[in-house]
Structure 1
Amino acid sequence: MTIGKRNSLSRWLLGSVAALSLIASAPAALALDNVKILVPANPGGGWDQTGRGFGQALQQNNIVKKVQIDNKGGAAGTIGLAQFVNSAKGDPSALLVGGSVMVGGIALNKSPVNLSQVTPIARLTGEYDVLVVPASSPIKSLKDLIAQFKANPGAVSWGGGSAGGTDHIIVAMIAQATGVDVSKINYIPFAGGGEAQAAILGGHVTVGLSGYNEFAGQIQSGKFRPLAVTSGKRLPGIDVPTLKEQGVDVELSNWRAVFGGPGLNDAQKAELMATVEKAVKTKTWQDLLAKNGWADTYLAGDAFAQYLDNEIKQTEKIINGLGLAKK
């Protein structure tokens, strides 16, 4: 063998060894076989519908092999959030459902656990509330409701989601817009949509409010009378007037999102984001959005983290301005 050939062989061998060394030192692919979704609310509500629907999109489209859903309700989601923070550290297969209700609950209660302790992955949906009364109620319109509210605020009980959440903030904003003392609001929080529906049907609260889809079945069956929606314009295909067009200048939406556990490294975060992105592009998920009347507000990664930071600041400003926060 000539010197030139020996040198070429040596360079080839050295290059091969270097390549093999790089392959050996590269991190293993983070293929997610299983995903655990913690829903920080009782079954039946919007977070539960979001978590279970998203889980179906993951599993039915073979994005992951298995999805586990756990419910842990209470305190505007902060009980579930605390559990997630403690149990999901560094776990790339764990997801937490949350949203504007949780942001409000944290601000209202000055919670020691907050969303800075988890990893923002993606905003998924947006939804507007509907105000309803049972069909047997003497309240026939928003005008009737506001008249009673002004005459005797404490006698009008409002049933909605956790204290400090979107529903609670909407009631406070309605009070402010109609000249009612916010401190006299009689707000009754429920940990899940099923409990709220039962209370409204049983006449245990004067009026209920939640995302339109949660009450859609009862509205369509005639058991609930819708009074108003909290959107700026009427919702497509839904013949319910807005608060604004009835003289109450209030508009607010409820967004929902998924978060990863604390302490994820960049590779774990990227894999979780990629998994979520695959799911939101499926027909399963898109059909669920259409069925439930949810707006597709998908926003991921750093853009979502920035949005979340702004939402936290704005929500704290609203709650403090309305005097709702704990002293």
Structure 2
Amino acid sequence: MKRSALVSALAALFITAFVFTAAAADYPSRPFEFLAPAGAGGGWDTTIRMVGKTLGDLKIISQPMPVTNKPGGGGAVNLAYMQKKKGNPYTITVYSPPILLINLTGQTKLGYKNLTPIAMLINDFGAYAVPKNSKFNSMKDVIEAIKKDPKSVKVGGTSSAGSMDHLQFLQAARAAGVKNLKEIPYISLQEGSMASLMGGHIDLLSTGMAETVGALEAGDIKVLAVSSPTRIKSGPLSKVPTLKESGIDTVFINWRGIFGTPGMGNAERDYMTNALKKMSESKEWKDICLKNGWEAVYMNADEFTKFLDKTNEEYKVILGEIGFLKQ
């Protein structure tokens, strides 16, 4: 390479590095694009909106953080969109277990490794409900029935087969010693899951804790167990045993965390990680978690990435046993 060409190349690299450093130092200097991978009102939508509101209210971030909904494909549509924003530190989204599951079950070739984990913020947990007149009074009763005849218990959930509601039941059944997991009938109920349960169309509903509270208070259902590590401290679910209390040694976490685009710069990622840490320690955020029945559990980017790697391997085992693993 001629001296003049070498000098030009080095100058270009210096200018690029200077511009990047200046941009990182100035971050954030313009409005964000916060994305919910589903429609309004769900867990992803509520989480990302509360994050943006709290960061703004506490003046942790002064730039606007409007939320756009990008539903479809269990989060796959939003995930594909994030790829188009590669390296853009102003596009931020939220995900939970489906970011792992839609990849492992072959719904998309993309997964959590095609994003930049920023921080875990909350844990939510599952619940296992039956109609009020069900013959089942405990998870032990359900497991014993399945061991005798796996087709005798119809399990339902709002997620698709192989996704979260299905998986949280299979994880409990597997931990309880059930061997033939793929023989347990699972019915995906896109809408009207509680009505299907109370109407006798399914025997057990595997769902989120919050979805069971109204029907439980009304006396229409029995909640046999929750998937949290310890008993819920207050409210109607405080009387419900955990899986561990029911003799099933497992926990299923519906975690939610914040992600950036693939190739997001380390400086910008660290800025957002620290901003979310400050938010997570505030009274305002803790009140929001209490109101929504969430457990505030902060992990920084490195801790969150390790958690995702470990959880992904655990999901592979269960999905492999029921023939849903496509990797």
Q: Which runs of 5+ in 1 are unaligned?
A: 1-21
Letter in 2 for 1:310: K
* Comparing 158-167 and 285-294, the one that deviates more: 158-167
Superimposed CA distance per residue, residues 165-221 of structure 1 (whole angstroms, 9 cap, x where no aligned partner): 343222223343353621222223456xx7544554565433222332343333334
1:210 aligns with 2:202: no
Q: Distance in 1 between matches of 2:108 and 2:22?
A: 41
Q: CA deviation at 1:92?
A: 1.7
Equivalent residue in structure 2 for 1:133, among 130, 133, 139: 130
Equivalent residue in structure 2 for 1:220, among 214, 217, 221: 217
Q: How does 1:72-111 map to 2 (within 5 A)?
A: 72-86=70-84, 88-109=85-106, 111=108
CA separation of 1:37 and 1:221: change in aligned 2, threshold 3 A: farther
- For normalisation by structure 2, the TM-score amounts to 0.78
Letter in 1 for 2:281: K
Q: How does 1:8-157 map to 2 (within 5 A)?
A: 26-27=22-23, 29-31=26-28, 33-62=30-59, 63-86=61-84, 88-109=85-106, 111-135=108-132, 137=134, 139-146=136-143, 148-150=145-147, 152-154=149-151, 156-157=154-155
Superimposed CA distance per residue, residues 64-90 of structure 1 (whole angstroms, 9 cap, x where no aligned partner): 45333233344442333223223x323
CA separation of 1:222 and 1:95: change in aligned 2, threshold 3 A: farther
Query: Is the 2:38–2:69 contact (alpha carbons within 8 Å) kept by the matching residues of 1?
Result: yes
Q: Distance in 1 between matches of 2:163 and 2:143?
A: 21
Superimposed CA distance per residue, residues 242-274 of structure 1 (whole angstroms, 9 cap, x where no aligned partner): 223334444322211010012222333233334
Q: Distance in 1 between matches of 2:177 and 2:73?
A: 28
* Comparing 296-305 and 217-226, the one that deviates more: 217-226
- For normalisation by structure 1, the TM-score amounts to 0.78
Q: Distance in 2 between matches of 1:168 and 1:48?
A: 22
**Identity, % of aligned positions:** 31
CA separation of 1:69 and 1:188: change in aligned 2, threshold 3 A: farther
Q: CA deviation at 1:124?
A: 0.8
Query: Is the 1:131–1:210 contact (alpha carbons within 8 Å) kept by the matching residues of 2?
Result: yes
Q: Distance in 2 between matches of 1:310 and 1:160?
A: 25
CA separation of 1:164 and 1:60: change in aligned 2, threshold 3 A: farther
Q: Distance in 1 between matches of 2:30 and 2:121?
A: 22
Q: Give the alignment's Cα RMSD to 1 decimal.
A: 3.1
Q: Distance in 2 between matches of 1:162 and 1:47?
A: 17
**What is the aligned length?**
302
Q: CA deviation at 1:97?
A: 1.0
Partner residue in 2 for 1:10: none
* Bigger Cα Rg: 1
Letter in 2 for 1:246: S
